[in-house]
């Protein structure tokens, strides 16, 4: 079985059935909801996936990459930053709509409507397009929307997603109503809300979100540290 663990805000850990370990948008040190620190990933990690460059998605990425030598999967611009500024050699850049087959499965970068600043020292020249990821892992298609508004492009994901991870915090991303509309466009089997409750501006009730989505899709609300297993 594959395992998806939520670590608060928009940070997710994936361990595939064959043991490959990935982290998506590692924001732990300054994350008031996180129950772990960056050290948790610094012993062994295979891949780091970054949807975009904002601080609350990349804070611990640079240290984790340095200490583990993990492969970075992100936009071409963020990968260029990692190589040129940090000297990190294991990078695989993607652009929106492009995908690649990795040993653990396929990763495709999807559209997200959000800001593109890279919050990193020396990152001024590496403004990046925000995105999401569609991962094919075993029998499951996992969509990590990233920080995004509701977009008509989501209709093209209909019946191509089994699990959708959607932001519901409002203010900086979709709120519950738009995220519920996104779920209705995508029609996944399961929806996992994220990017809410970290700070007052994005405080939301996930049970209200559940009421807007079910019974069309099941809503799985994960507390930080909780894991969902899938094939």
User: Could you report the per-residue pLDDT of 26-76, keeping only the tens digit for each?
Assistant: 999 999 999 999 999 999 999 999 999 999 999 999 999 999 999 999 999
pLDDT per residue as tens digits for the range 116-171:
888 888 887 777 789 999 999 999 999 999 999 999 999 999 999 999 999 999 99
What percentage of the chain exceeds 90 in pLDDT? Answer: 93
Which are the contacts of 50, defined by CB distance < 8 A and separation ≥ 6?
24, 25, 57, 58, 61, 72, 73, 74, 75, 78
Q: pTM for the full model?
A: 0.96
| pLDDT > 70: percent of the chain | 100
Residue 194, beta-bridge partner list? 167
Structure tokens at 22: 């990935």
Please tell me the distance from the alpha carbon of residue 7 to that of residue 198, in angstroms, as a whole number: 11
**To the nearest whole number, what is the mean pLDDT of the chain?**
96
Question: Which of 36, 23, 27 lies closest to 9, judged by CA?
Answer: 27
3-state SS class at 49: strand
- State yes or no: pLDDT of 84 exceeds 80: yes
The residues spanned by each domain of the chain are 2-222
Could you give the angle at the alpha carbon of 60 between the alpha carbons of 127 and 105, nearest 5°? 80
Say how far apart CA 161 and CA 157 lie, in whole Å: 6
pLDDT score of 167: 98
Would you state the pLDDT for residue 217? 98
Residue in the structure block whose two tokens are 């990425």? 61
Domain made up of 2-222: CATH architecture? 4-Layer Sandwich (3.60)
d(CA 38, CA 139): 30
pLDDT for 42 equals 93
């Amino acid at each position: 079985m594959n395992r998806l663990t939520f670590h608060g805000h928009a940070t997710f850990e994936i361990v595939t059935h064959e043991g490959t370990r990935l982290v998506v948008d590692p924001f732990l040190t300054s994350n008031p909801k996180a129950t772990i620190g960056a050290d948790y990933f610094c012993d062994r990690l295979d891949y780091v996936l970054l949807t975009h460059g904002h601080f609350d998605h990349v804070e611990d990425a640079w240290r984790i990459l340095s200490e583990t030598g993990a492969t970075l999967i992100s936009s071409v611009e963020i990968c260029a930053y990692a190589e040129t500024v940090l000297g990190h050699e294991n990078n695989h850049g993607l652009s929106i709509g492009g995908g690649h087959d990795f040993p653990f499965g396929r990763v495709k970068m999807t559209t997200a409507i959000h800001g593109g600043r890279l919050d990193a020292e020396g990152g001024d020249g590496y403004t990046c397009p925000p995105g999401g990821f569609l991962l094919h892992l075993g029998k499951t298609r996992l969509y990590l929307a990233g920080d995004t508004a509701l977009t008509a492009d989501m209709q093209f994901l209909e019946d191509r997603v089994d699990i959708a991870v959607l932001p519901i915090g409002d203010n900086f991303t979709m709120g519950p109503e738009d995220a519920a509309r996104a779920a209705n466009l995508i029609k996944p089997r399961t929806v996992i809300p994220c990017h809410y409750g970290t700070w007052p501006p994005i405080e939301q009730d996930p049970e209200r979100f559940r009421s807007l989505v079910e019974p069309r899709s099941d809503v799985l609300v994960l507390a930080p540290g909780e894991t969902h297993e899938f094939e």
